[in-house]
Structure 1
């Protein structure tokens, strides 16, 4: 009798698919600028989290005998104040370190507020009857037709100048981007088979919106969140520079620029370092956003 064990014990070969994170990181690291931006972002995040431990001085501590001291490598400088001091004798390095904390706080809160409101509104517009969808999108178009900084200034003028009101105003300004993006993604997903199957199976509207459709719309929203983070930092710095954002003596980068602009010819460091901090942070986040887009958009992936 023939031995059939050899023919029945064959194991089919299977292709093991890498985990989602490994796959994401493989595509993300192909963009070297994005990887550099990611590491710079992590560096600033660590500085912001551990600011009380890293900072050599309290950000509001004044030394009237050491006003406008230049950086340590310049004539007249001191290693006590490596990046110099401002017109009130406050350590520039300490204020920059604490400024990172305020910038990341602003970016995080603005993105949470704008994304939450925008995603909910976009989902409603995508599932709503045509007349309600039209009303919502026309309101968003009106908001987008107004220059963002001008609208933020008007809102802060109504609410009152403060860092909290500046964050609320910027979140309102950025919200239409999430609404349009979410609505477009929802409209694309609604025609797909898995949504039709869920409808036929009797899925209720809340489950259809938040469990079935929303998870498949998150990729472009994540990219938008990264870009909104950098826009929030820029806008709050602009409002601070105009005196409508964080108020002195808050060590916010835009406010630091506003306090020191009259000394730009006498003490270049009081304006240069906050400006470089804003530039570096925003550039790093934008580069990281490009990498997120390349890694999350299936149309841009290369096999």
Structure 2
């Protein structure tokens, strides 16, 4: 009896594992994009950042060039406006749109620099206060309480008045004003994490103090710090504009939104655009950053990002 052998069938390849959870970046964007206001704020700030980075090519005119024949020219859609000056000119005949675009560079620079100068020392002091609650914590927190007892703008004005007006001193003054918020927030987050099981396990595994502070605990405290940094960014822009309006910030003729407001306040009755447009730019920028902060809070807070 003939027996026929059946060819062996090739085994079907194993199915690729199905990703049960989205990537962290995709999950973050899904939670962030649920907040339509945050997405709108992000788009507006991307436009501002683009104008700041490419200001020499985006601005239609030199921000310091004076057109003596076009003093206080209204925007192009009003009677008497000129097509070459879309948003009009100021009291010296300088193009407002070009000055607003170049002013965004300084405003963003002041905001970013002051946030970094206050965030990094604030995190370090907050970690020290949290890890040494009896030795160094009380003295650090009492110093922060004294700084918080003073009005923020008054403290910034006092610092700039002592150091002198200018860009660098403005950044330093705003950073000092925002420092206590980071110290207190970092300390509170660290105190909440020190009793967790993973910190106890790291201690038992022989992790040193620097590793515990910067590798084990700090990454788990970054979510509220990121949100606070976003909010401080908008506050720094407002503080810089306030100092510029008082004549203690960036000095003219350098284009800066607060300085533009200060130089135009005498013309508010007969040339509203000279004051309204810089003020509207500050308003929209701060509003956009605050909306982004709300979106970051919703995306980074585990209690909120899963809520539909």
Please name the residue that 2:192 is paired with. 188
Please name the residue that 1:109 is paired with. 113
1:133 pairs with 115, 137, 145, which one? Answer: 137
Q: Which runs of 5+ in 1 are unaligned?
A: 1-8
Alignment of 1:221-260 (within 5 A): 221-260=225-264
Query: What TM-score, normalized by structure 2, do the two folds share?
Result: 0.93
Q: Does 1:203 align with 2:216?
A: no
Q: Does 1:84 align with 2:85?
A: no
- The structure-2 alpha-carbon separation of the partners of 1:19 and 1:74, relative to structure 1 and needing over 3 Å to count, comes to same
Cα offset, 1:145, TM superposition? 1.1
Higher fraction of helix: 1
Q: CA RMSD in A?
A: 1.5
Please name the residue that 1:6 is paired with. none
Q: Does 1:121 align with 2:128?
A: no
Partners in 2 of 1:87 and 1:213 — Cα distance?
A: 55
- Map Cα deviations across residues 177-219 of structure 1 (whole Å, 9 max, x no partner): 0001111111111111111111111111111100111111100
Partners in 2 of 1:122 and 1:289 — Cα distance?
A: 22
1:23 pairs with 24, 27, 46, which one? Answer: 27
Partners in 2 of 1:187 and 1:232 — Cα distance?
A: 28
Please name the residue that 1:155 is paired with. 159
- Map Cα deviations across residues 69-103 of structure 1 (whole Å, 9 max, x no partner): 11111111101111111011100010000011111
For the residue of structure 2 that corresponds to 1:249, the secondary structure is coil
Q: Does 1:285 align with 2:289?
A: yes
2:100 pairs with 96, 100, 113, which one? Answer: 96
For the residue of structure 2 that corresponds to 1:299, the secondary structure is coil
Cα offset, 1:131, TM superposition? 3.5
Q: Which runs of 5+ in 2 are unaligned?
A: 1-12
- The structure-2 alpha-carbon separation of the partners of 1:164 and 1:10, relative to structure 1 and needing over 3 Å to count, comes to closer
Cα offset, 1:301, TM superposition? 2.4
1:58 pairs with 52, 57, 62, which one? Answer: 62
Please name the residue that 1:43 is paired with. 47
